[in-house]
Amino acid sequence: MLPPFGLQVPNSDVAQPPTEARDVSDSTKLKQYRAKRTEWLRWYKFDKDEPNNIQGQIIRMVFLDMSYRMLTKPRGESPQNVNIAARNGLLAHVLDLGYVANQVLAIRRLLDARHDTVSLQRL
């Protein structure tokens, strides 16, 4: 079996080898890196109780995009003589504005570089 790699979260039951046992020139930097990596994985990893993790933000963006597309698909595919709610001007306008606003805000949040946010830019 391969050891964890990339963004996989290391098993918390398995103790990491001491930094002195590694072939590194600076064990304090390795300790700092391990602490940062744990923090970064916590930012990324989906957790339903943490609303600001990166994976959760991306999942919400995709879900809203799919929902919008399902709600607006009948607008363009049904015959013009069929009277459906999706063609209601006010409803279509509100759906379109809400979709655009949510996606723009989600992208801005993911690209935010402030020190107090969890974002792709900081990760």
Q: Judge whether 101 lies within some domain.
A: yes
Phi, psi of 41 (to 5 degrees): -65, -35
Q: Judge whether 34 lies within some domain.
A: yes
Give the integer Cα–Cα distance in Å for 123 and 55.
12
Mapped onto helix, strand or coil, the DSSP state of residue 97 is: helix
Q: Judge whether 118 lies within some domain.
A: no
Structure tokens that stand for 78 in this block? 């049904």
Q: Judge whether 6 lies within some domain.
A: no
Q: Judge whether 59 lies within some domain.
A: yes
CB distance 68 to 95 below 8 Å: yes
Handedness of CA 99, 119, 40, 51 (dihedral sign): negative
pLDDT tens digits for range 47-90: 667 667 778 888 889 999 999 999 888 888 888 888 887 778 88
Q: Judge whether 63 lies within some domain.
A: yes
Q: How many domains does the chain have?
A: 1
- pTM of structure: 0.59
Structure tokens that stand for 35 in this block? 């602490």
pLDDT tens digits for range 8-25: 555 554 566 666 666 777
Structural domain including 43 reads 25-110
Q: Judge whether 123 lies within some domain.
A: no
Q: Judge whether 10 lies within some domain.
A: no
Residue carrying structure tokens 């046992």 = 21
